[in-house]
Amino acid sequence: MVKLKGIDVSKHQGNIDWDAVKKDGIEFAMIRMGYGSDIKSQDDEKFERNVRECERVGIPWGAYLYSYAMDVQAAKSEADHALRLLKGKNPTFPVAFDMEDADHYKRDRGMPSDKELVEICHTFLDKVEDAGYYVSLYANLHWLTTKLNSSKLNRFDKWVAQWSDECTYDGQYKMWQYTSTGHVDGIAGRVDMNYAYSHFRDKKEQPKKEDKEEKLGGLEIYTVRSGDTLSKIAAKYDTTVDQIAQNNDIDNIDLIHPGQKLTINGSVKKKYYIVEEGDNLTRIADAYDTTVNQLAKWNNIKNKNLIYTGQKLRVK
């Protein structure tokens, strides 16, 4: 198993001697971009220097942004903050969303609900991923197993903070922050220490979700879900309410029910996912609100326990 030793740093470490850091055996660095919304005064003043120095001495680097978001709109601004600072750069380790409440900012202003926290995380990660970066969610063990324990976040890598002799998180993760009291040559004072269990990749090679329109020949059978309307279904399949009603002998277009089977004649937006190390069909099905059986059917999978890294799967 790959096991790389790394650090995460910010302006609090001052001017780091990166030559000494590399000589001390550090194999990667996670560098703070800043915190909160897209405001220049909230950029980390050492971010640019740390990136330049990592690249000069040949230390692979990723980045993280500390979140103060209390709602989805703020999360979008935080994603914009990260993307502005990443412009023109090529991190080979993840871009991480740091979700915690170390200074009690969220608690003092009315902690968002668990559902809201999940939406905040998903909003940031999805937007940065769509820009072509490999993303990860940083949180401590307690938050990951309580507040952020949602299938909606399953497809994103985790960076687990657990200051201990071992990481006991039973979900999928590729980085572990194991102490906040490390000592590394070239850095004055304490520094967070981490292990990474992957070399990751250049952003241009990142597996990412792909959406594309494809015309399906013949008819599609759709099962109505709670909250569906004919207009929503028609928009999804690029058809009309009248066409669906005609196909299914529906007299009252405002009356459909969960579980009802509808015959659809139109186009559907297919979505694909590239399998990553550690994935399984259950995890992927949960992330895309489908079933293992449906994934197997779409992708002609005979052995549901056998998928491989790099495999392209239809998930919608």
The three-state secondary structure class of 160 is: strand
Q: Residue 268's pLDDT band (boundaries 50, 70, 90)?
A: low
**Contact predicate 289/122, CB 8 Å:** no
For residue 31, is pLDDT > 50? yes
pLDDT of residue 200: 83
Q: Residue 209's pLDDT band (boundaries 50, 70, 90)?
A: very low
Identify the residue with better confidence: 301 or 52.
Answer: 52
Q: How many CB atoms lie within 10 A of CB 136?
A: 24
**Contact predicate 103/135, CB 8 Å:** no
Q: Residue 205's pLDDT band (boundaries 50, 70, 90)?
A: very low
User: Which of 63-67, 158-162, 187-191, 239-243 has the weakest average pLDDT?
Assistant: 239-243
Helix axes 72-86, 114-130, angle to 10 degrees: 30
Region 114-131: mean pLDDT is 94
Q: Which residue has the tokens 């230390």?
A: 59
User: What DSSP letter does each residue of 177-194 carry, written as one string?
Assistant: EEEEEE--TT-SS-EEEE
Q: Is 190 exposed, middle or buried (0-12, 13-18, 19+ CB in 10 A)?
A: middle
Chain-wide mean pLDDT for the chain?
88
Q: What's the rounded Cα separation, in Å, for the pair 148 and 43?
A: 26
Q: Calculate ∠ Cα 271-277-282, nearest 5°.
A: 60
Q: Which residue has the tokens 């009315």?
A: 110
Q: How many CB atoms lie within 10 A of CB 222?
A: 18
Q: Residue 27's pLDDT band (boundaries 50, 70, 90)?
A: very high
Q: What's the rounded Cα separation, in Å, for the pair 102 and 92?
A: 27
For residue 42, is pLDDT > 70? yes
Instruction: List, for residues 126-166, the tens digit of each pLDDT value.
Output: 999 888 888 999 999 999 999 999 988 988 999 999 999 99
Buried b (16+ CB within 10 A) or exposed e, 58-82: ebbbbbbbbbbbbeeebbbebbebb
Q: Helices marked H in the chain — which ranges?
A: 18-23, 47-57, 72-86, 105-108, 114-130, 141-145, 230-236, 241-247, 281-287, 292-298
Q: What are the chain's domains? A: 4-205 (3.20.20.80), 210-314 (3.10.350.10)
Instruction: List, for residues 47-96, the tens digit of each pLDDT value.
Output: 999 999 999 999 999 999 999 999 999 999 999 999 999 999 989 999 99
For residue 281, is pLDDT > 50? yes
**Contact predicate 221/262, CB 8 Å:** yes
Structure tokens at 280: 């399984």
For residue 202, is pLDDT > 60? no
